[in-house]
Amino acid sequence: MKAYVFPGQGSQFVGMGKELYENSDLAKKLFEKANEILGFRITDIMFNGTEEDLKQTKVTQPAIFLHSVILAKTLGDNFKPDMVAGHSLGEFSALVAANALSFEDGLRLVLARALAMQKACEKEPSTMAAILNLEDEVVEKICSEIDGVVVPANYNCPGQLVISGSVKAVTTACEKLTEAGARRALILPVGGAFHSPLMEPAREELAAAIHQTQINAPICPIYQNVNAKPVTHPDEIKTNLIAQLTAPVRWTQTMQNMLTDGATSVTEVGPGKVLQGLFKKMDRELEVASC
């Protein structure tokens, strides 16, 4: 069975999508439509901007989404997934690629999500940290014992869990997790505490936009971040999508479930190769690819 997966924030690079734009009429048409919807030429920033330009909130998330979705659209009949999933932001790309969301609605939601998250980040100093080589249960227990907001945010693969919360609580957690045996507890260069309770204002704002958006049954099951389970019902997809901003990304569990359910190959659609690497850590024999 073929699984297609879509990357999240952090996979952007200068020049992303340029080759697609230049070599495909469909891609060019979709990129120009995106410029129109966004109200600025995101293609100029993606193709010729600086790394700093690409890091702007209103640019990063739509840029990764566009690269992934337009790449999937140009595959045409060659895009035949038996299952899809996306890491955080990538869930929106997966939904559009699987025809649950229209291209236009997906892009509008991604922009709304990016701006809502930026606003939430500005309300309280917050951050995230990567914890390496420690059991998930140990990380969960230590986080639960710390005063202030700090929670597991991204279950990336066994031995790699990202925590999220207020600067003070995350710093304290890093000290205690290092004492507990973590090989590294590394503060990440991010704008705020994604996938934590501090994103509640953004969740509320995005919920209103998602409720007003048409979501259809996808062409195959989508394994959603909040429960790592295959979902096809539009109402359930909406509920999970709204919960995603304040809930952890259960990517480890998603990969386990996709493999258990019969995935024999995994293709990463979009910039970077991070997700392929994570799948390889789960199963060294697994066939992985980029497109």
Catalytic residue positions, numbered:
88, 195
Q: Give the integer Cα–Cα distance in Å for 95 and 124.
A: 31
Q: Give the integer Cα–Cα distance in Å for 6 and 73.
A: 13
Count of all residues that appear for the chain in the document? 291
Q: Give the integer Cα–Cα distance in Å for 21 and 110.
A: 21
Phi, psi of 84 (to 5 degrees): -135, 160
Side chain identity, residue 141: K
Q: Give the integer Cα–Cα distance in Å for 7 and 273.
A: 8
Q: Give the integer Cα–Cα distance in Å for 219 and 239.
A: 19
User: Do residues 238 and 211 touch, judged by C-beta distance below 8 A?
Assistant: yes
Instruction: Report DSSP letters for 178-238, one per residue.
Output: HHTT-SEEEE---SS-TTSGGGHHHHHHHHHHHHTS-----SS-EE-TTT--EE--HHHHH
Q: Which two tokens stand for residue 23?
A: 């070599």
Q: Give the integer Cα–Cα distance in Å for 115 and 59.
A: 10
User: Do residues 198 and 128 touch, judged by C-beta distance below 8 A?
Assistant: no
User: Nearest Cα to 223, choosing from 141, 279, 170?
Assistant: 279
Q: Give the integer Cα–Cα distance in Å for 65 and 109.
A: 11
